[in-house]
Structure 1
């Protein structure tokens, strides 16, 4: 039984603290603080998105039928041209992204593309949902709609996608 302080006959009992519960509480608290401190911000997302978009555009544009014939004649090194646009693509993605900061992690929703570039050439439309946690980005869902509407690719990418 817990002793009541002098002058208090019915004082509430003092809680019994278990060292195990206290240890787990401290561990969970430290993990939460660690996740909050390593939650990637918008600048890190911009860098990540620039790399992802560079890879997507290189695959889309630099294949045999990716660019119109006139552009293929002018552009000598398509992969290098796309790679040079990495910072611009990252910034474009950041402008077209909504971040939901949940403290321990963030969710980034991105929707971009679909613009008419040349009279008969439209960019593909991309959408992605990305989880940012512990200094990493994981693409949870990504989809691409082709400009002519004849194909749609969707991917669930728990490992980070292509």
Structure 2
């Protein structure tokens, strides 16, 4: 009796499997950590807060006169913003990538001034971050 011939995968199939496995391993190794996201979030929040608070001039006139350099004042808070973002972030670690959702803001800075609220959805993949969605309200000045 003749046994059926064993058929080996083609070279193309084997190469594709190796490339796929290698790509998956590379994505797994370069999946950004929570600490990486904390640094990214701090930088991003400084940019968003500068745009919302300083450039849109939502501060009352008295505070605008008192604060000489609004962008610098916010930039000096980057580490505090990064820690706050870490505290208010949820991470879904998918192995090859991570999805982060950060919701911050909305606190009353003064009785008549509420900070803007931000919700940022970010994809961390291959050592990089890609912001997928940003939502904010403009804050509130009464």
**Common fold: TM-score over 0.5:** yes
Aligned Cα RMSD in Å?
Answer: 2.1
Take 2:120 and 2:85, find their aligned partners in 1: how far apart are those partners? Answer: 10
Take 1:43 and 1:96, find their aligned partners in 2: how far apart are those partners? Answer: 14
Partner of 1:48: helix, strand, or coil? Answer: helix
Q: Any runs of at least 4 consecutive aligned residues in structure 1 with deviations exceeding 3 A, and if so which?
A: 12-15
Take 2:50 and 2:138, find their aligned partners in 1: how far apart are those partners? Answer: 15
Q: 1:133 aligns with which of 98, 122, 125?
A: 125
Q: 2:85 aligns with which of 90, 93, 100?
A: 93
Q: 1:47 aligns with which of 24, 35, 39?
A: 39
Partner of 1:92: helix, strand, or coil? Answer: helix
The residue that corresponds to 1:122 in the other structure is 114
1:71 aligns with 2:63: yes
The residue that corresponds to 1:106 in the other structure is 98
Number of matched pairs: 141
Give TM-score, length-normalised by structure 2.
Answer: 0.89
Higher helix proportion (structure 1 or 2): 2
Cα deviation for residue 145 of structure 1 reads 1.5
Give TM-score, length-normalised by structure 1.
Answer: 0.79
> For the Cα contact (< 8 Å) 2:52–2:138, is it kept in 1?
no
Take 1:107 and 1:146, find their aligned partners in 2: how far apart are those partners? Answer: 25
Could you tell me which runs of 5 or more consecutive residues in structure 1 were left unpaired when the two chains were aligned. 4-11, 150-162
When Rg is computed on C-alpha atoms for both structures, the one with the higher figure is 1
Take 1:14 and 1:105, find their aligned partners in 2: how far apart are those partners? Answer: 38
Could you tell me which runs of 5 or more consecutive residues in structure 2 were left unpaired when the two chains were aligned. none
Take 2:96 and 2:2, find their aligned partners in 1: how far apart are those partners? Answer: 39
